[in-house]
Structure 1
Amino acid sequence: MPITAQHVRDTLDTYLARHPDEKDSLSALSQVLDEAGDSIASRKEFRGHVTAGAALLRPDGRVLTIEHRALRKWLLPGGHVEQTDSTLLDAALRELAEETGISPDKVEPDSGTPLHVDVHPIPANPDKGEDAHQHFDFRYLFRTTADTVELQEEEVTAYSWQFADMLTAEPLRSRVMAAIRP
């Protein structure tokens, strides 16, 4: 069953219960969710739509980053949700496996609650018939002992295991740092 507006709302509410100081910064997500309903999970919803990402953490405190081919930026693995995804967590795990080749059985979710929800603009892409819009990226923390990566070369050009303190985006950096177990 595809991801529903109710699932997104429940996930957002659980997240905001942990991080109430982010209510204002996520108000655009709440507004689009109210207006778009279940189309919040459609990549054709150009007011904005949900995406899912994975912060994959190894015991040595390193996090997997990938170089996105089209954007030419180093990012966490992740992307658009699919009709086959039933939860945002499932979508993050699927995207992680697709982009990195790391099998889901080598990965353990840290929690069913996102580590971070990021709102960022996406420029128009006339080649794909896409207007400028926002991504509401639900980022989950996963743990692994795997280190072998097989990139999906259509979308990803390189990967790197970075120490968590090298992440630049806050509060993602601080939250990943706090999750490192001694």
Structure 2
Amino acid sequence: MLGDGVNKPTGFLTADTVEEGDWAWEKLGYVATGTDGGFGASEPADALIDLVYALKAGYRQNATWLMNRRTQGAVRKLKDAEGNYLWQPAASPEGRASLMGFPLVEAEDMPDIAADSFSAAFGDFRRGYLIVDRQGVNILRDPYSAKPYVLFYTTKRVGGGIADFDAIKLLKFGE
């Protein structure tokens, strides 16, 4: 999520962002909550609903929420107009929690809710983010460095980055 591409994959939170109304390719669109560091006082769940519908229907059918546990705690307290919680706990021990009918994944690397932070993401991450994993592990034998022992160095090449900027949307806690 936060990788800069130097000795690690590029994270999607390091991409350029733009408000959803001004969306352009090679930029991730976001929906703002309207309040720095939190949800709006009136109708706080509206930003979540706007985020769901900012994603095109083709991506929405496989979409997942992504946020850390502190953000989940704040979202879990949100209710609809009838007083029902938007968050639905898992129905079974093997099940997954859902938010507004979409599965939710806990990712501790996502930032906490703060002013102008992107603390929640929603999208089809299978289509939106590509992980490249080169097959095989390279092994280099070093018989000279630690005589009379032989050292082995192993390396594996992996990478990642945004493949489809239209498949992931962010929730910005700010204006």
Q: Which has the higher helix share?
A: 1
Task: Give the TM-score normalised by structure 2.
Answer: 0.24
Larger Rg: 2
Task: Give the TM-score normalised by structure 1.
Answer: 0.24
Which structure is richer in relative contact order (CA contacts within 8 A, separation 6 or more)? Answer: 2
